[in-house]
Structures are given as structure tokens and as C-alpha cells.
Amino acid sequence: MDIESFPLYDIEGDAYQRGQQYGRAAGDRIDLSLRTYRAAFERVGLGWDRTRALARRFMPLVAAFDAGMLREIEGVAEGAGVPAEDIVALNARSEMLYAFQQLEATEPPDGCTGVVVMPSASRSGKLIHAQNWDWRVESLELGVVLRIQPDEGPSMLTFAEAGTLARAGLNSAGIAVTGNFIKADNDGKQQGVPLALIRRGILQSTLYANALGVVCRTARSISNNMIITHAEGEAVSLETCPEQVFWQQPEAGVLVHANHFKTPAALARVVDRSLETTPDSLYRDRRVTEALQQQCKRAGDLTEQDVLDALQDRFGAPRAVCRSPSAGPGGASSATVATIVMDPAARKMRIAPAPFKAHRFTEYSL
């Protein structure tokens, strides 16, 4: 498939109005997203009626976390002409699939390599926040960019799969977020707020402390690494599992995180199951870190192009930093679906679909 760019949808107003606008504008992609993940649920033995029943269990959790998000989900459903449970299922797809403990046997890992360059190490003097998102090849046709102007709070720009509220993005307060797969042995054993909504909560924050607090105080059912940055020069990588949060900060102006637990506290306290499905994370993390450190020593600083070059690394192909399509568990094909690079100070993000082919970036801004 040849995708030149991901479509941009502008939504505004109150939560329900925003959802309606999103559902109507992206209806075809939401329908494709539902068909794609309905098949994924069926592969783990979840019929769609059972999936909807499970999704209904998440609705009180979502309402307690942020009633406006549930209203927005209901608006998306109305706009797309589907039950609200279907949109909840899209936003909670990882939580619901992991709960059945069969994801590894049927789905490719939701990988990623995240990078931050601090202003002190950046030639432009501005923070750079980037990511390769590795997932199902079909997601190339599901990707959307939302430019959100709420009645209250910061405006937001987020890349997401159609029907979901957020994946990676930034806001008008200078806060940005990306998320990476990690897995602990206690994933899926308790209910929690879906990761897509936690990331959206981060983007709804005006203060950096509040953005971090969204992660630290929210119940989760599965693990995830979230890198949260601020345009004025702050960055932290939060390794989360259902009951704990561990943190990593930049070293020598660079922060890199792939798909395994790295912090000493996490390694001492968590049974890391990540490497069972993403053993390549060990060298992806190291190679990107080393490439940036060596370039910084040579040039004295780093550019956005240096980051993009590091994210193009092909060692270990197809299980590389930049992953070309390859068959995964259950016959599903995975690849680097997108490279995302954000300039939180300028409130801009550039996204290249299918970067294993070429870097064809489209710029989006607030």
C-alpha cells in the first residue's frame, strides 16, 4: 500500500461535538479500524458480542477518569453510526487483548523506539521528540491526525488510529508524549484506564506536573513506557506497569527508549516479559543511543536529521529500528508504520508513513 500522508481532521467545541465531528469526518477509516480489530479479537476467541460486553465494563472507568472523554467517545460513535461500545473497544484494544493472555501468539508486538534530544544537545537549541511506531502494516490505512480546539484547556495535535483519542502528540502548552510497548508478568490481571485515554489526558494538561501526574495517579491494566517532554527543556521516560511507575531522565542530553524495562528499580522489582516478543529491543535501544552520542561528539550537537538518520537504522532487518514488513505471529505482518518527529516549541509535528520506503514527511501544526 502506498500512503503519502495521514489525513488531518479539525475538531472543536465541547466533548460531544468534537466526537461527532471526528466520527463523521473519519467514518470510513473508523469502519476499517473496526473491521481490522474485530478480526484481531476473533483470533483470540473473542466474538464481537463478547467484545462489546467487555467494552461496556470499561465505560464506568472512563467516566470516572474523565467524563468528557466518555462523552467524546459517544460523539464519535454517533458521528460514525456505530454503538459507543465499538469505539470504547478501539480505545481499549490492547487492554482487552492482553487480558486474554494470547496476544503474543496471534499479534505482532506493538513496538516503538522513542528519542528525545534536549535543548542543550540540539543545534537549534530546541527540544526534539521523535518516535518510530512499529505495529500492524494495516494500520497505515487507519492513521489519522487530529487538530483539537476544545472549549476549555489547551489545543492539541495528535496522531492516532481512527476512532481512538490519542497516540502520540503535543499541545499548545508545549507538552508532548509518545508511548512504547513494554510487558510485565502482571499485565491484564486488573482493570484500568486504557492507555489511549491516559495519553489523551497528558495532552489535556496545561502544567507539566499535571501531565506526569496523569500517569502516576491513574490505575492501569497493562504496562507501557511513556516519554513526556516539555518545550522548555524537560523530559522523562516513565516505565509503567499496572501497580508501579519507574522513571528515567536524559543522559548527556539524550533519552532513548525501545521496548524493555531499563530503570534499575524496575529491573529489581518487575518480571520483564517484553523481551519474549521484542528481543530486538536490546540492540535497537543501544544502536540509536550510540549513534546519537557519537554524532554529538563529532559535531558538538545534534540536528533533527541526525535523529531521523538514527531512526533509519536497518541492522538486524527486518527486526530493525526501521522495520520493513515481515510476517509475525498468526500471519500478521508488522512494520514501522510511521516516523513521528515533534518540535514542541514550535507546536509542530512531522510524520512520515511507511518510513521503510522513504522519508516523505507531512508537517502538521497547531
**Angle ∠(340,252,301) on CA atoms, nearest 5:** 65
Distance CA 67, CA 52 (A): 20
Do the Cβ atoms of 134 and 325 come closer than 8 Å? no
Nearby residues of 115 by Cβ (< 8 Å), 6 or more positions away: 128, 129, 130, 131, 254, 255, 256, 288, 292, 307, 310, 311
**Phi/psi of residue 222, nearest 5 degrees:** -135, 165
**Phi/psi of residue 56, nearest 5 degrees:** -60, -30
Is pLDDT at 322 greater than 90 in this prediction?
yes
Do the Cβ atoms of 197 and 165 come closer than 8 Å? yes
Taking Cα atoms as reference points, which of 193, 273, 226 lies closest to residue 112?
A: 226
The helix (H) or strand (E) run that includes residue 275 is none
**Residue range 33-55: average pLDDT?**
93
Taking Cα atoms as reference points, which of 135, 83, 82 lies closest to residue 110?
A: 135
The helix (H) or strand (E) run that includes residue 342 is strand 333-343
Distance CA 29, CA 9 (A): 12
- Domains defined for the chain, CATH in brackets: 8-104 (no CATH), 109-365 (3.60.60.10)
pLDDT band at 331 (very low <50, low <70, confident <90, very high): low
Please provide the average confidence, as pLDDT, over all residues in the chain.
94
Taking Cα atoms as reference points, which of 89, 244, 229, 112 lies closest to residue 182?
A: 112
Is pLDDT at 104 greater than 60 in this prediction?
no
pLDDT, position 170: 99
Tens of pLDDT, residue by residue over 54-75, are: 999 999 999 999 999 999 999 9
pLDDT band at 97 (very low <50, low <70, confident <90, very high): confident
Residue found by looking up cell 502538521 in the block? 364
pLDDT, position 212: 99
| CA 282 to each of CA 3, 147, 337: distance values in angstroms, whole numbers, following the listed order | 30, 35, 20
Is pLDDT at 158 greater than 90 in this prediction?
yes
Is pLDDT at 103 greater than 80 in this prediction?
no
Is pLDDT at 111 greater than 90 in this prediction?
no
Tens of pLDDT, residue by residue over 76-85, are: 999 999 999 9
More confident residue, 85 or 331: 85
**Residue range 197-210: average pLDDT?**
99
Count of residues making up the chain? 366
pLDDT, position 164: 99
**Angle ∠(228,232,235) on CA atoms, nearest 5:** 25
Do the Cβ atoms of 178 and 129 come closer than 8 Å? yes
DSSP output for 23-86: HHHTHHHHHHHHHHHHHHHHHTT--HHHHHHHHHHHHHHHHHH-HHHHHHHHHHHHHHTS-HHH
pLDDT, position 333: 82
Grid coordinates belonging to 319: 527486526
